[in-house]
């Protein structure tokens, strides 16, 4: 089996999409790893009502963990100059306003940019819609980070979703353990490949036909 | 010192007169803003068949017996209206079966809607609206059965307001009129819950006299607050208890790792 990129490397690559001054919301799971890799000056937004908070509390400063300083994923943050607290209505107006970059996890992305990320469908009663529908609809740019295939090797980039949709026509970019792709009017464009992987090999694990970007290149970190 | 009759001696007394079948709203975010003190009183009360509106309906794991969260109320609930139910996968814990008895058996009705719709339905109630046309969730299961409309070329569906009978609120500080200041990210949906609810009950760490809170700093004006309970230091949900609990957990290397790493390995793998 050829080696695929680890979660941290996916997060590192996704972090390159953000620059100082951008405000960004990180979804649960893989997207949260971006926090370690974004450039200085990127502000994080937490749905529960905080913007621009400082680094997360770690083993080194665990005494600073405070029950009133918790992000959307339940992790403790430190305060930082310029940060703000606000209520939930303000938070979701912000999320729907097109001012926030959104990095979400994904179960499936369709060639039209439909996203499935909140439910396995069928008997799944553990529905976590959370802020994902609002983020996917209203963000300035929606970046999905996920593995390219399911655990049993099925493509997660599909022609049509088979899982319940979280949002339609909303994903701008998909970064996986094999590739960087953009969702455009003309379908899925392959922009970058993981080291050692050819476009043909990636195509074989992707349901829709990939268009090759004129500047297709190997992923750089 | 004016007395408005809003200050109650205990959480149990503050719940007086709440009938079965009540529609309740609270902000629930783990440690952060959950009204543990009033939840504990609701668990002790005889109130049943509650419909609970909360921003997530997740188990609080081992902490539940010290700080009751929304799932503690399960035996008293008829329905929950929330953007997130379960959360076991997201929280990285393997207690996936905790809801089976209630949800799969049909004992607990559930309505799962996005956060933005959830909060706007409360806001719409506060504003006295009959409903609003919402674009988020178009083309998903959330629009099923709802009136659809195209306005200026964009698709929407109708969402109706929800007015809670009772808002259960956690704030840092109140004066005797009920002017409220919150603490950090625990403000959450409370300012809107206070506006939307027919009756608002707040638990606070500090109770002060009028004039002691800077008017510029007041987030929820006291006109929205009906009943106030000051949490005593030794009580469930007090700042002291939460601080001690955090020190206790964080002082343990293994538990600390769990708490600091919460959601690190999350839902979407």
Does B260 sit within 8 Å of A75, measured CB to CB?
Answer: yes
CA distance A31 to chain B (A): 9
With a pLDDT cut of 90, the percent of chain B lying above it is 76
Tell me which residue in A32, A128, A137 faces B84 most closely, judged by beta carbons: A128
pLDDT score at B98 = 63
pLDDT tens column, B55-85: 999 887 777 788 999 999 999 999 999 998 8
Q: Which residues of A, range 15-44, sit inside 8 Å of B by Cβ?
A: 27-33
pLDDT score at A120 = 85
| pTM attached to this predicted model | 0.94
With a pLDDT cut of 70, the percent of chain B lying above it is 92
Q: Which residues of A, range 120-139, sit inside 8 Å of B by Cβ?
A: 125-134, 137-138
pLDDT tens column, B95-154: 555 677 788 788 899 999 999 999 999 999 999 999 999 999 999 999 999 999 999 999
Assess whether pLDDT exceeds 50 at residue B269: no
Mutation to test the A interface, candidates B217, B268, B269, most A Cβ within 10 Å: B268
User: Which residue reads 């609206």 in tokens?
Assistant: B129
pLDDT score at A59 = 87
A47 is a catalytic site residue = yes
Of A47, A59, A182, A218, which is the active-site residue? A47
pLDDT score at B3 = 87
Assess whether pLDDT exceeds 60 at residue B87: no
Does A62 sit within 8 Å of B250, measured CB to CB?
Answer: yes
pLDDT score at A122 = 79
pLDDT score at B101 = 73
pLDDT score at B265 = 40
Q: CA nearest B84 in A: which residue?
A: A128
Q: Is B128 exposed, middle or buried (0-12, 13-18, 19+ CB in 10 A)?
A: exposed
| A173, β-bridge pairs | A143, A182
pLDDT score at B262 = 53
Does A58 sit within 8 Å of B260, measured CB to CB?
Answer: yes
Q: Is A124 exposed, middle or buried (0-12, 13-18, 19+ CB in 10 A)?
A: middle
In 3D space, the residue among A35, A161, A72, A42 whose CA is nearest the CA of residue B267 turns out to be A72
In 3D space, the residue among A167, A173, A134 whose CA is nearest the CA of residue A31 turns out to be A173
| B80, β-bridge pairs | B52, B110
Q: What distances in angstroms separate CA B50 from CA A73, B55, B207, one per listed residue?
A: 27, 16, 29
pLDDT score at A121 = 84
pLDDT tens column, B201-248: 999 999 999 999 999 999 999 999 999 999 999 999 999 999 998 888
pLDDT score at A46 = 96
pLDDT tens column, B24-61: 999 999 889 999 999 999 999 999 999 999 999 988 77
Tell me which residue in B115, B191, B267 faces A29 most closely, judged by beta carbons: B267
Assess whether pLDDT exceeds 50 at residue B264: no
Q: Is B129 exposed, middle or buried (0-12, 13-18, 19+ CB in 10 A)?
A: middle
pLDDT score at B97 = 58
Does A50 sit within 8 Å of B140, measured CB to CB?
Answer: no
Assess whether pLDDT exceeds 80 at residue B261: no
Q: What is the DSSP letter of A155?
A: B
Assess whether pLDDT exceeds 80 at residue B89: no
Residues in chain B: 269
pLDDT by 10s per residue, chain A, length 221 = 789 999 999 999 999 999 999 999 999 889 999 998 999 999 999 999 999 999 999 888 988 999 999 999 888 999 999 999 999 999 999 999 999 999 999 999 999 999 999 988 877 777 788 999 999 999 999 999 999 999 999 999 999 999 999 999 999 999 999 999 999 999 999 999 999 999 999 999 999 999 999 999 999 88
CA distance A138 to chain B (A): 8
Mutation to test the B interface, candidates A8, A66, A84, A88, most B Cβ within 10 Å: A88
Evaluate whether B57 touches B235 at the Cβ level (below 8 Å).
no
- Which element (helix H / strand E) includes A187? strand A187-193
């Amino acid at each position: 089996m050829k080696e695929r990129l680890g979660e941290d490397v996916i997060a590192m690559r996704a972090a390159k999409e953000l620059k100082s001054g951008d405000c960004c919301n990180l979804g649960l799971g893989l997207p949260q790893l971006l926090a370690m890799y974004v450039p200085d000056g990127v502000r994080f937004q937490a749905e529960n009502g905080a913007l621009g908070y400082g680094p997360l509390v770690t083993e080194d400063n665990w005494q600073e963990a405070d029950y009133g300083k918790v992000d959307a994923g339940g992790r403790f943050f430190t305060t930082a100059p310029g940060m703000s607290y606000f209520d939930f209505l303000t938070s979701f107006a912000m999320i729907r306003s097109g001012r926030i970059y959104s990095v979400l996890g994904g179960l499936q992305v369709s060639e039209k940019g439909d996203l499935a990320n909140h439910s396995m469908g069928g008997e799944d009663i553990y529905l976590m819609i959370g802020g994902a529908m609002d983020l996917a609809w209203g963000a300035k740019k929606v970046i999905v980070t996920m593995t390219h295939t399911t655990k049993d090797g099925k493509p997660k980039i599909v022609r049509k979703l088979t899982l319940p949709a979280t949002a339609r026509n909303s994903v701008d970019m998909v970064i996986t353990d094999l590739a960087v792709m953009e969702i455009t009017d003309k379908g899925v464009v392959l922009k970058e490949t993981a080291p050692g992987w050819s476009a043909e090999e990636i195509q074989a694990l992707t349901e829709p036909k990939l268009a090759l970007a004129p500047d297709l290149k190997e992923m750089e970190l | 010192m004016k007395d408005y009759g809003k200050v109650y001696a205990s959480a149990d007394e503050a719940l007086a007169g709440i009938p079965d079948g009540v529609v309740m709203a609270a902000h629930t975010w783990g440690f952060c803003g959950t009204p543990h003190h009033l939840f504990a009183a609701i668990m002790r009360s005889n109130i049943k068949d509650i419909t609970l509106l909360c921003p997530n309906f997740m188990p609080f794991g081992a902490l539940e017996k010290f700080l009751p969260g929304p799932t503690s109320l399960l035996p008293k609930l008829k329905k929950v209206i929330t953007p997130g139910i379960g959360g076991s996968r997201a929280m990285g814990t393997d207690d996936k079966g905790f809801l089976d008895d209630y949800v799969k058996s049909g004992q607990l009705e559930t309505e799962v809607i996005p956060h933005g719709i959830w909060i706007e339905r409360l806001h719409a109630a506060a504003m006295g609206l009959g409903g609003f046309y919402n674009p988020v969730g178009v083309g998903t299961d959330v629009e099923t059965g709802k009136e659809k409309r195209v306005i200026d070329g964009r698709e929407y569906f109708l969402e109706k307001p929800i007015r809670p009978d009772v808002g259960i609120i956690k704030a840092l500080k109140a004066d005797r009129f009920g002017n409220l200041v919150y603490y950090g990210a625990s403000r959450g949906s409370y300012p809107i819950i206070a506006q939307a609810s027919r009756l608002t009950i707040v638990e606070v760490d500090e109770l002060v006299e009028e004039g002691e809170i800077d008017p510029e700093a007041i987030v929820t004006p006291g006109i929205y607050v009906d009943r106030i309970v000051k949490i005593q230091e030794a009580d469930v949900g007090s700042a002291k208890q939460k601080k001690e609990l955090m020190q206790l957990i964080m002082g343990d290397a293994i538990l600390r790792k769990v708490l600091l790493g919460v959601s690190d390995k999350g839902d979407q793998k």
